[in-house]
Each structure stands twice: as C-alpha cells, then as structure tokens.
Structure 1
Amino acid sequence: MLPATILDEEGYAALNEHGHTRRIREAKGILVNTFRELESYALDSMGGDDCIPPIYPVGPVVNLEIDDVVYDDRTNEIFRWLDDQPESSVVFLCFGTMGRFGGDQVGEIARGLERSGHRFLWALRRPPSEPKSNISTDYDDLIDILPEGFSDRTVEAGRVVGWAPQKAILAHKAIGGFVSHCGWNSILESLWFAVPIAAWPMYAEQQLNAFQLVVELELATEMKLSYRMKGENDMIVSASEIERGIRRLMEEGMEKRVKWEEMSEMARKTLMVSGSSFSSTGRFVRDFLG
C-alpha cells in the first residue's frame, strides 16, 4: 500500500530517495498482481520483458471462494433481497476495511441514493472507536446515522447494512454497478465478475488506481477523484454529485460497460493456457527454478 503523500511532490521525492526504494533494482524479480492487457502501458514503460529487475505480471490473483461466507440471519437477508431484484439493477456501495464516513457525508450519500431512483445495497460502517485504529466497525443502530425517514422511504428500493461479503455480492446477478474506493483487490474482483465501477478513492494508492481506471483506461465512471479521507474536516461529496455519479454508472455508461465486460473477459483468458499471465508465470518458474 502506497502512502497518500506520494500524491504530493515532496512526498514523492522523499519516497524516491528512500533507501529501500533505491534497492528495488537489486531484486532478482518482482511478481505483480496485474495482467498485461490491463496495464500494458505501465509494463512497457518499465522495459517490458527486458526490465531490470524482471517484472512478472501474474494476475488477476483473486480468491474466488465464495462458499466461505458465514450465512447468519443478516447475511441471509441480504441475499434474499438480492434474489428478488432484477438482473443488473442494484448498485453496490462498499468502501473497504478502512472506508468510513462522518454523519454529514452519510446524509449526502443517502440523499443522493434516494434521488437517483436506483436500487441499492450500501455497506455503511463507522469510524474506529480507538484513535490509533484504522479498522472500521459496524454501527450499533444504522437508524441513528441515517437521515430521518430514509429507511422507510427506501424500504423497497434498497438496503443499508454493516459489514457485507463483497465478493459474494459482486458475483450476484442482481448487481449492476459498484461504487468503490478502488482498492486493488476490489478492482480485480469487480473485473472478474464484470461489475462496472464508479470510482470514489479515499486514501493510499486508491487515487492512482482510480485515475488509471477513469482517465487513462476510460473503463470506469467518476464519482469523485479528488476526494481524500483526512479526518474530521473531510471534503464532503454532495448529494447531487453522488446522484449524478450513480446515474452515469447505471444509465449512461453503456460504452464503458461494454469495455469493462471486454476487459473482464481478458482477465479470465489471461490465466488460461497461452494467456499472458499464464505465460508470465511460466517464465518466472523457468527463470527461478530452471
């Protein structure tokens, strides 16, 4: 995980001067969880197969086991509700282990979702109770943080939950879009299950990931690229921006949706015999095991 300071000129310079960074060239090889079809420009810019040290793109490495979900009453309710929704009709909002929002931002998300008119499943978690902890936790009662009457008005259209089994949800046929913080694992999972992303990065390398998806590759739609989760004075993303982003994701992004599905197909093929990551893995084995 890269620190957020890499986005600043001084932070990038400091990282570049760090001893461990300079010693990367001493490595015998670097395995990367990506695939050539997704990041060919980046791989070629580093020298491709002639890079020193050699880089082996062997992804997407994704844990595809969805049978390990603990199906308690809450999880069962999520999937019962999804089973009743039309195919590709639900937008899923989930922001990772560290993704959390204060009350003002929660209110804007709720209003944006309601105005969009789309079905939704929202994994909402609260900031950690311990000052030095980065792990978000579930609210004791979601009603306390949501706008008054929101749950009643949207009872047919959506569900707000705490922790949610992201991978199993992305695999469900009812999911048609994913509002994501753009962590790399989340990107690879959404690619694998062909669920288009609306990018809402918050910290670490997520800004770079989101920029790549939205601007460089033109695969994803933009929810908010300039957002950073810094603390109590976070920049608020407005309800109108959220509504607009969801509509672009679910209604207007047909060209991006087609490109996303094509890249999803490439992600699967690259692991097959003669695929680029299959070949790269073979090259790694030959180079290191003889």
Structure 2
Amino acid sequence: MVDKYNHKKTFMNQKNMANTLAELIFIPAPGVGHLKLTMEIAKLLVNRDQRLFITVLVIKPLSVSSGTAVTAYIESLAENNMNHISFILLPQDETQPFHDPKDPSNSPIEFINSHSKYARNAVTDLKSQPGSRWIVGFVVDMFCTSMIDVANEFDVPTFVFFTSNAAFLGFTLYIKTLCDDLNRDVVDLSNSGTEILVPSFVNPVPTKVFWSGVKTRSGLDFVQWFARKLGEAKGIIVNTFLDLETHAIESLSADTSIPPLYPVGPILNLEGGSGGGKPFDDDVVRWLDSQPSSSVVFLCFGTNGSFDEVQVKEIARGLEQSGYRFVWSLRRPPSDQTSRDPSDYEDPSVVLPEGFLERTRGIGKVIGWSPQAPVLGHEAIGGFVSHCGWNSLLESLWFGVPTATWPMYAEQHMNAFEMVVELGLAVEIELDYMKDLYNTKANTIIVTAEQIESGIRRLMEDNEIRRKVKEMSAKSRSAVVEGGSSYASIGCLIQDFVRDNF
C-alpha cells in the first residue's frame, strides 16, 4: 500500500513539474559585454527547457557610451521577439560612482551593491503580478555576488555565473585558505617573486602572475569577501569545458567545501565584440578575403586595450620586422582618469613610426575598434596577439587560432600562464606587463620590438601548438552539442533549478 502511494505521489510530482513554469532571475554585471554573455547562457537554458522563463535585471553603467550600448542592445533583442526572456532596467544610483581611482578594487562592486534595493523591489513587484511564475533561482554574474543576500530574502537559491576559467576560480577560493587556514600574508607573498602550489593548477604558479586584486591590502580584503560569497552559492556555473580544464575542474569537484560546479562552456557571443555594435568593416573583409589562409596576425587587446605612443611604436617595429601580414586594432588611450574607455584615432599615423603605413601598405591594416569574433573566424587569420581576457581566449580556441599572450590587468596574467604553461596552447610575448586602468600615466614596462617580433614568429611558425589548438577547437565544439560534457552539465543545471521547487 505504501509503495503504491509513493509511486502515485512521485508520478503526480513529475506531472506537476512538467506543467509548471519556472522563473529565473538573472543579474549581469554592468556593461554590454557582460549582458551579451548573460544572454547567451539565458538563450541556451530556455531553448533546452520550455518550462523556464528568465527575467534579466539590468544594471545600467554610468558611462554614457556604455549605457547607450546597453540600451541599444536590449532594443535590438526586443526587435527579435525574445521568447521566455524579458528585461527590467533597474533605476540608476547616481550617488555611487562606478570609478574611484583611489580605490579601484572596490568601487565597481560598491556601485553594484548600491542596486540591491532596486533588485529587491523589482523581484517583489514580479512576484505580486497576477499569474506570476514560481521563482526557482537567481543567476548572478561573478561581480554581483552581493545579490545573494537579496535572493536569500526571498528564500531562493543563487547560482553564480563565473565568466572566467576554473583554474582562476580555484585560485580565488584558495586565497581564502591561504589567509584563514594557513595564516599566510598574501600581499607579501604576491610581491615575493616566488612560486606556490595552487590545487587547481598542475604547475607551481609564479606570484608575478597573481591576480592584481591580491597585491594590495584593500584588494585582498575584497578578494576574501568575494571568495566567501562564492562559497554561499548553491552552485557555480563556469564558462569552460572539461576537455580544456580537466585538472582544474576535477580538483574543484573533489573539494566538498566548494559548491557544485557546472562547466557549461564555451559560452560565446559570436555576433560581435563587447565594445559596441559596430559591424565588421567591409574594407577589412575584402582585404582578408584576398589573403592566403592562416597568413595574417590579428592584434586586438580588448575593450580597455590601449598603449602610449612609445609602446605603439615598438609594436609597429616588431610587426614590420616580422614580415608577417597583420590586422591591428589600435586604440587611443583615455584622455583622463574619469574614463577607462579608449577611442579610435582619427589619424593613426600620429603615433606610428614615420612612413610605417606606407611601408606596410598591402601587407597590413591598422584599424580602430572592430568586432573580434568575426575577424578571428576569417580563414585568413593565422595567429592572435591578445590581452588574454577569458572570452577572447575561448573565441580563439573555438576558431582554432593560436594565441600569443600579452596580458595587462585583472586575472589576465593567470589566464596567460594557464594557456602557455599549463595547457601548451599559446606562446608568450610577455607575462609581466601591467596596465593601470585608473592611472593612464602610471609607469609600465616597455615590451620591445625584438620581443614582439620573436613572439609573432613563434606564433606563426610553431606547428605543434597550431596542431594542439586545432584539436582543442574540435573538442570545444563537441562539448556543447548533444552528448558533449557541457551539454550534459547544462542538463544537470536545469534539473537542479527545478528539483527542490516542484
């Protein structure tokens, strides 16, 4: 009798679950790049399970150009009649500055934290609407972990979307262990010029590549808080895949103190880059169409990537000396400390060596901002000189293009170390270059033309790395289709969204 009752109860639960609609609250970090990546995983989820609906709470950045880009992107999505996904644009809190050069580690986080009250109000309004769906979880960007507290007020679990890699996630969590359990002075350690063992890395990690966030006292305080908040999540969704970061994923999964991991990548926005809605220039397309396959080096340094005139001239000389064809996305540094946004040169010759454009006419193109993915996806591209943002590295692997590393800030040095040393999927131009986003006049090392030339030659001529990158490209595409590891991980994630609620 009991068995029959339990069987009937299970059947009814399954039936109710199949007929019930579930709501997820997504909160991306401010900026169109984060919003686009959030949209990619949101579309993936609702396409996999029609019971899921997603409401995206949008924190609009204070920067006029960034805010305009966010608004334009949302409007473009509305024109495409997005099913199961809707947006709520949160009010702006203009009393909390997004940039504070005196405290760069915390100001963006404080700006996000100041929107908690607006997120709380939006969810309250959503729940009060007639016919509202059952809210089964929050999915928050890694920079929005303070919103876990808002989710807790509604007794709803939070999943963190960690947009970087599993090895770096492991490093971040290990910082808490170093401080709390091993009583290490991480700031001193970070500046000691030594190496330490980190469980999510196979090789000892040089302290010179440590995340810049742990190299100051205020930064370390933030990282410790960040690691604690990650530990409060019900699960961590990571933009990576098992074949790429096998060791890191297995080490994290084996640690019972860490929330469950969902490697769902590569999650990519292949329609354009994060810097705006500018299309792929027809002139660049035509020029690339006329070049031999895998013959062109693409230099692009991300949304905040720019150099002073001295470094620009060294890059130009290195390119010219290498003799390789190139497309170079050259950006003007911000004019002052109130903005981190580079711009395009009206006339790039003002910072390039005299006669450079004339001497390289026909073998190279100097351009401004351009969507990155369409360039990497062109068959003429044979190598990528990159700042090593994680999205950029995933795109290069997706298209099977080897990378030469030139990290600048944040965790990019750790990404570069993983690609070069851990995985053997990139060559090194530089690992020590450090760019201060809040002080454009701060001293940095100069990467010489000879280093750049040598790196480009290795990038274009190392056939073993090219072979390994092509193999990983195939694995990245296999991971996201039915039968792949990330496809399966998405399925587990959906089950865990609904399992405890219906």
TM-score range, shorter chain: over 0.9
- The 1:42–1:71 alpha-carbon spacing in structure 2 relative to 1, beyond 3 Å, is closer
The count of residues paired between Structure 1 and Structure 2 equals 285
Which of 319, 323, 335 aligns to 1:117? It is 323
Match of 1:153 in 2: 359
Match of 2:417 in 1: 211
Match of 1:235 in 2: 445
Distance 1:26 1:7 in 2: 21
Match of 1:259 in 2: 468
Does the CA contact (< 8 Å) of 1:89 and 1:118 recur in 2? Answer: yes
Deviations for 1:36-72, whole angstroms, at most 9, x for unmatched residues?
A: 1111211112134966311101000012336x97558
- The 1:213–1:71 alpha-carbon spacing in structure 2 relative to 1, beyond 3 Å, is closer
Code of the aligned partner of 1:240: E
Amino-acid identity (%): 53
**1:158-197 alignment to 2 at 5 Å?**
158-197=364-403
Does the CA contact (< 8 Å) of 2:268 and 2:391 recur in 1? Answer: yes
**1:267-286 alignment to 2 at 5 Å?**
267-286=476-495
2:314 aligned with 1:105: no
Deviations for 1:184-237, whole angstroms, at most 9, x for unmatched residues?
A: 111111111111100100011111100100011111000111111134312100
Which of 210, 213, 230 aligns to 1:6? It is 213
Supply the RMSD in Å over aligned alpha carbons.
Answer: 2.1
Distance 1:76 1:85 in 2: 15
Deviations for 1:77-131, whole angstroms, at most 9, x for unmatched residues?
A: 1111111100100000000110000000000000000000000000000111242
Does the CA contact (< 8 Å) of 2:214 and 2:220 recur in 1? Answer: no
The structure number with the bigger radius of gyration is 2
Q: Alpha-carbon deviation of 1:27?
A: 1.0
The DSSP-based 3-state class of the residue aligned with 2:297 is strand
2:17 aligned with 1:17: no
Instruction: Give unmatched runs, 5+ long, in structure 2.
Output: 1-142, 144-171, 173-209
Match of 1:79 in 2: 285
Distance 2:355 2:338 in 1: 34
Code of the aligned partner of 2:215: D
Distance 2:357 2:409 in 1: 29
Does the CA contact (< 8 Å) of 1:5 and 1:11 recur in 2? Answer: no
Deviations for 1:228-261, whole angstroms, at most 9, x for unmatched residues?
A: 113431210000000000000001x111111111
- The 1:23–1:63 alpha-carbon spacing in structure 2 relative to 1, beyond 3 Å, is closer
Deviates more, 1:9-18 or 1:145-154: 9-18
Distance 2:458 2:319 in 1: 13
- The 1:116–1:155 alpha-carbon spacing in structure 2 relative to 1, beyond 3 Å, is same
Match of 1:40 in 2: 246
